[in-house]
Amino acid sequence: MSGDRLRPWSVAATLAGAVAVLLAVQSGYAALLVVVAVLTLAVVVGWPAVGGSRTPMASSVVLALAGAGVLAATVRDDLRWLPAAVALGIVASFFHQLLRPPPREGLVLTLVAAFGGLVLLASGALLLASGHDSGARPVVVVAMIAAAAGVVGDLLVPVRVIRLFLGFVVLLVGMAAAGLAASRSDQLTVLAALGIGAAAATVSWSFRRVLALQPALLGVLGQVAVGAASVLLTGAVVRLFTLLA
């Protein structure tokens, strides 16, 4: 089955994105903005096809508009304008459909693809917001190390014997990588790091695995979009554990 094949560009995009975020967060908001903007661009270009939009180019335009608003909303560390930016994307998605002549084939699937893209962009904004908060940076570092370690699950997909247990393997690898990272730092407890690692690695890998059978994943652009999106998706994990801390 094609879903049991290694998606090398997804792995490469995930590793590159996670490492880039890890390095950028050390420098603060400006550097992280550049990295998240690049990851956002990859999602804007490739996600509509992955999500099954019947009008991928127009959906990319809608996501680009929303993405610009979402990134602009992170200039303030309180993220007050983030809901408004997401709402703008929702309105633009419906307006785009109104411009299409009936019967608007694939209407629901196209809207779902757009809304899914908005979720990814919003999660990326939560990741970017950590650039304002020095206390959140250790969480980002541990999350990115765990997300990068989670690609072990992708690499082991062709091994049939272990395929059914990949979720557990990713969970354990993510926790091990996060625990090791925390043991070399006094900014996070090992227990907190284990939770961050488990969540970040599992969320990031599961996203790539669930989408493995999408036709767009047969191409480079789709794989890169999913890899970039799996990094942005960890923004929700980072935000949650930052608030809990």
Spatial contact of 194 and 170, defined as CB atoms under 8 Å apart = no
Distance CA 206, CA 221 (A): 19
SS3 103: coil
User: What's the whole-number mean pLDDT along residues 65-92?
Assistant: 94
User: What's the whole-number mean pLDDT along residues 77-87?
Assistant: 93
User: Which residue type does 174 have?
Assistant: G
Spatial contact of 147 and 231, defined as CB atoms under 8 Å apart = yes
Distance CA 76, CA 104 (A): 39
User: What's the whole-number mean pLDDT along residues 88-105?
Assistant: 92
Is the per-residue pLDDT at 2 higher than 70? Answer: no
The 10 Å Cβ neighbour count of residue 105 is 10
pLDDT tens digit string along 133-152? 888 999 999 999 999 999 99
pLDDT tens digit string along 153-185? 999 998 989 988 999 999 999 999 999 998 887
Q: What is the pLDDT of residue 1?
A: 45
- Report the predicted TM-score, pTM, of the whole model to 2 decimal places: 0.95
Q: What is the pLDDT of residue 69?
A: 96
Angstrom distances, CA of residue 7 to CA of 118, 135, 164: 24, 35, 18
CB contact set of 196 (below 8 Å; sequence gap of 6+): 139, 142, 143, 146, 178, 188, 237, 238, 241
Angstrom distances, CA of residue 64 to CA of 37, 87, 158: 11, 14, 35
Omega prior to 102 cis, within 30 of 0? no
Number of domains in the chain: 1
Q: Which domain holds residue 188?
A: 2-244
Q: Chain-wide mean pLDDT for the chain?
A: 94
Could you tell me where the beta strands, DSSP code E, fall in 146-194?
A: none
Say what percent of the chain tops pLDDT 70.
Answer: 98
